[in-house]
Amino acid sequence: MTQPERIYTLRELTRLLRLTPKRLGQLHRLGVLREGAPGYRFRDLVAARVAAGLLERGATVRAVREALLGVRRLAPEAETPLTELRLVVQDQRIVVEQDRMRFDPRTGQALLDFSVGDLERESRESALTGLVRPLVPPADAAEVWFARASQWDGDPQHWESAVDAYERVVAIDPGYAAAWNNLGLLQHRMGHYERARECYERALAAEETCCQAAFNLGSLQEDLGDFHAAVTWYRLALEMQPDYADSHFNLAGVLEKLGRRDAAARHWRRYLELDRGSPWAQIARSHLEGPEASTESDQ
């Protein structure tokens, strides 16, 4: 018997993709996420991750919208272009990658592609021959692999390739905190919690002010049900970056789970100072409108 397709709530989707309120609003404006939708399917989750990835790599909302309009003209048969076509950011513009070629989605014109194909081929040859003949300096190679991993990590079908690419980055540069953090996120999403923990901790070892890694360790502990440890990590993230809105939000939620409503209220209020208009701001307000909590210190 076929299992019914899982439906994700907006909260689940936002948590899985680590979307900030700002990014969530951009996805709504793009129409990638439908306002007021009762739930989202897996392909919606993938489309949202791809669009968010384009924005994270410097594309503007306008550029993403124009690219989507272009690919719908070029491939009208594609029901969900973000999941069926590969869109990447190249030289601050969005291009479509297909069959080792790249196209401008607005015009359909083919573009010259200076991809990492040669580097990948060199790596395969080196593995077979035992020779080490890098085509680019090690530091540059790390950046190339990081860029490719960032393109792959938005698509669950390519997560294994992204993991391999991030592992190549940290093999070249063990102090690359962002790569360790992103590798941890992938392991976290794939359910490899112990490996995720190791990667987040390596990110912090490489860069002690990597607040994203501290936040992600808090999220990991929350997922594992260790709320006290989650509180510790969320607080550490806030020590590193006091205006880290997501950490205020998550910390408030965990404190409430621990029955510490006064302490939680302080973080709900701080979150509202940083974000007043998103759906998460409405959630924060709803918590503050609840019954009064007994007084306690946020310790």
CB proximity list for 210: less than 8 A, separation 6 or greater: 177, 178, 181, 203, 204, 240
Q: In the Cβ-directed half-sphere of 14, how many Cα atoms lie within 13 Å?
A: 21
β strands within the chain, DSSP E: 86-90, 93-98, 101-103, 110-111
Domain boundaries, the chain: 1-115
d(CA 20, CA 25): 9
pTM greater than the 0.85 cutoff: no
pLDDT at position 106 is 65
DSSP 164-176: HHHHHHHHH-TT-
pLDDT at position 117 is 46
d(CA 221, CA 228): 8
Handedness of CA 84, 90, 95, 97 (dihedral sign): negative
Structure tokens, 50: 């791809």
d(CA 80, CA 53): 16
Give the residue ranges of the chain where pLDDT is below 70.
Answer: 1-5, 74-79, 81, 83-85, 90-92, 97-140, 290-299
pLDDT at position 127 is 39
Q: How far lies 36's CA from each of 31, 40, 47, 275, 279, in Å?
A: 12, 11, 17, 20, 11
pLDDT at position 78 is 64
pLDDT at position 294 is 40
pLDDT at position 8 is 79
